[in-house]
Amino acid sequence: MGQFAAGFDLGKDYSQICCWNTSSGEPVSISVIPGAEKYRIPTESPELFLKKALRLLKPYGKIHEASAVVFSVETLEEGLVERLKQAAMRTMGVLESRIYVQTRQESFCAYVLNQPKEIWRHQAVLFDYEGELLRGMVLNVNPRTLPFLARVEQSAGWSRPVSGLSQTEKNEIFQELIREIFTGRPISAVYLVGEGFEENWYEASLKLLCNGRRVFAGNNLYAKGACYRAARTADRNAAASYVFLGADKISYNVCLRTPGTGKSSMYTLLNAGESWYEAKASCEALLYDEPVIEFLFQPMQGDEGLKESLLLEGLPDRPPRTTRVRIEAEFTQVDRLRIEVRDLGFGELFPSSDLSWTEEVDLA
């Protein structure tokens, strides 16, 4: 992958930047001070952070020409994706089609699955200590599917307030959390992220963590995970090695049945595993015979698929294969799909009727 790509982790107080090193095939963390390992940049506001990022990335490439830019955020609040895209377009000149937003859970997944297989051959655990909370999450990977299916488990009970506590009290809470998460799970690797782990307070907990497991500490995991996703997205020819099953991901492949090309032929409009707010597609097609378009929804994990037929009522009567239509599909929620079909006619022989048909499909 020889194209420029960048990943950003946007935290509440501090943010970080990575860009893709085409020589090493690895993300490079961008320091505020050249030559120093100072990666935290005060967030203040997305716009101010992006202005700083523009300056810091200048020696590495032209950000407005980036093939992909990925933002990692804690939660996908309503309107956040659109605000970030608008800010990046306005401040950095990046095309909207090259801007992506994902959760820190997905960045954790992207980082781990780009490490050697022995790291994630069992489950990987991340502990995040930033601000007042100590939290845990577990990455599960199913390597028996192709592509792999990956999911992050994060329970509300795995978030513990530790602000103002003594080192001994924090250590006790951390050990309780470790035992709760580790019990009954085969853990191959543990990651410690956040400025809270920079202090020397968890020596006893570390002994518990290192019992037959590999433990890694650092503060740029989320930004590197975003950068791995950006590099993968920029390389359009690379097949996806895994699909991340997050709460914001669509769980069905959206397909069109194409009866003129075989009994069970289908054309895939949207792939399962895409974030619903990025899941948009369009295509043009010729109607084979009847004024009906049949959609098929194929789940990723073996359940029976769904079918939905859209009758194009009022469509002018024309010979087979002389009606061209434009089909647009867009998710408005994670389980709600909006479909629009527009009659384009067939050149000068059969002008467009300007008719359109819209349907909402509830996949819940």
Which residue ranges make up each domain of the chain? 5-103+222-235, 108-217, 252-362
Class of domain 5-103+222-235: alpha beta
In this prediction, residue 237 carries a pLDDT of 66
Same fold, 5-103+222-235 and 108-217: yes
φ, ψ for residue 132 (rounded to 5)? -100, -5
Phi-psi region of 139 (alpha: psi -120 to 50; beta: other; left: phi over 0): beta
Q: Is the pLDDT of residue 101 over 60?
A: yes
CA dist 181 to 137, 186, 226, Å? 8, 10, 25
Looking at the chain, list the stretches that DSSP marks H as alpha helix, in order from N- to C-terminal side.
46-57, 80-92, 104-112, 117-120, 167-182, 203-209, 221-234
The residue ranking higher by pLDDT, 1 or 33, is 33
The structure tokens listed for 317 are: 């009567």
Q: Is the pLDDT of residue 309 over 90?
A: yes
209 pLDDT tier (thresholds 50, 70, 90): very high
pTM of the model: 0.87
Closest CA to 208 of 182, 185, 229: 182
In this prediction, residue 25 carries a pLDDT of 87
In this prediction, residue 338 carries a pLDDT of 97
In this prediction, residue 1 carries a pLDDT of 43
Identify the CATH number of the domain defined by range 108-217: 3.30.420
Q: Is the pLDDT of residue 111 over 60?
A: yes
Q: Is the pLDDT of residue 287 over 70?
A: yes
- What sign does the CA torsion over 179, 180, 184, 185 have? negative
In this prediction, residue 261 carries a pLDDT of 61
| Residue recorded with tokens 């996949």 | 363
Residue range 250-279, pLDDT digits in tens: 999 999 998 766 556 889 999 988 999 989
Amino acid at 115: Q
The CATH architecture one would assign to domain 252-362 is Sandwich (2.60)
Q: In what order do the strands lie in the sheet with 280-286?
A: 280-286, 324-333, 336-345, 356-362
352 pLDDT tier (thresholds 50, 70, 90): very high
Looking at 134-240, list the stretches that DSSP marks H as alpha helix, in order from N- to C-terminal side.
167-182, 203-209, 221-234
Q: Is the pLDDT of residue 6 over 70?
A: yes
Average pLDDT, the chain: 92
